[in-house]
Copies of this chain bind each other. A is one copy, B any other.
């Protein structure tokens, strides 16, 4: 089966293990138009209308002084680290080698902001307090912590380890920035309100699409003077757009729909992980998911598994994995559980997976 055939088979499916049900372009636009938030006037360059109301609401939810809606997390995080660096007069920032900043942004923190990075720990595991302490002779303006760490399959430090890291950083005069692209997803693991999870961070970013299923966008939180300065950098980046209402309304609708279900997504992810782990030739990472996500490694080749999952999609109209990539030995995928998997029973997933793995 070619990649095109697999993509077409995926589009024709009725049921999905990953993510939410697909929504058409028209449906996405109508959801916004039909919402009560469409009653607000348009914002003007992010000022007024629902955007300002939403920023205030988010600031209260996260118990941070101020909030700004931005087009993307890539923009928000560079800006946060830049401001902390300027305030400290210190270009050294620290993050994990698999951080989005280091792996997915063409080194923008260097190319645009001339920041220097100190990489924490090793690519295949979370960094620890010891890794941070090992850098004690390099003063750091900020340290970025990603909760959960996406490229490690959604791993999370324990609550105590997290507290120890932020406490140590603050003792060194280092600001703590939270990469919370998937922060919504780790609330069930920590079992605390979002505001408590982010309390020890000086700046926090969360995303509007991914689990919220919204349009592009991000929120950045921090002290009022910090957020005022982010607005200047947002304009410099070309991110002070004339209207942000579609993005803000879509995010709000996503919060209303998905936040109350987050615990069920995480519980379903644990169930799904156990099914995959019971299959020969499959490894789940982390073995016990901390959030709604996991990485899956198959000992069979990418082509073999694409055929297997593709055939299943054609025959059963169920998509079990959205994509596959070589991982050196066999192949891998990333699985994030959303609303769609809740409609597939444990028995049905097991049955389908047995079919696929037997073929693959």
Contact = CB atoms under 8 A, between A and B. Distances in A.
Contacts of A37: 25
Given A25-B33, A29-B246, A246-B29, A73 B42 contact: no
Contacts of A112: 112-113, 236-237
Main secondary structure of the interface of A (DSSP, over half): helix
Given A24-B38, A112-B112, A238 B29 contact: no
Count of this chain's copies in the oligomeric assembly: 2
Nearest to A76: B238
A111 B236 contact: yes
Nearest to A210: B242
Interface string A108-134: 100111000000000000000000000
Given A106-B235, A235-B105, A240 B30 contact: no
B74 A240 contact: yes
Given A30-B33, A245-B25, A108 B235 contact: yes
Nearest to A217: B241
14 contacts: A25-B32, A25-B41, A25-B49, A26-B33, A26-B34, A29-B38, A71-B71, A75-B238, A76-B238, A108-B236, A111-B236, A209-B242, A209-B243, A238-B239
Contact of A29 (B32, B40, B106): B32
A215 interface: yes
A72 interface: yes
A360 interface: no
Contact of A74 (B25, B39, B235): B235
Q: Which 10 A-B pairs have the closest CB atoms?
A: A75-B238, A108-B236, A74-B238, A216-B241, A29-B33, A26-B38, A26-B33, A72-B238, A29-B29, A25-B38
Interface in A1-40: 11, 24-30, 32-34, 37-40
A78 interface: yes
Given A25-B42, A26-B38, A238 B71 contact: yes
A165 interface: no
Q: Which of A40, A233, A246 has the most CB of B within 10 A?
A: A246
Interface in A60-100: 70-76, 78
B236 A106 contact: yes
A250 B351 CA distance: 45
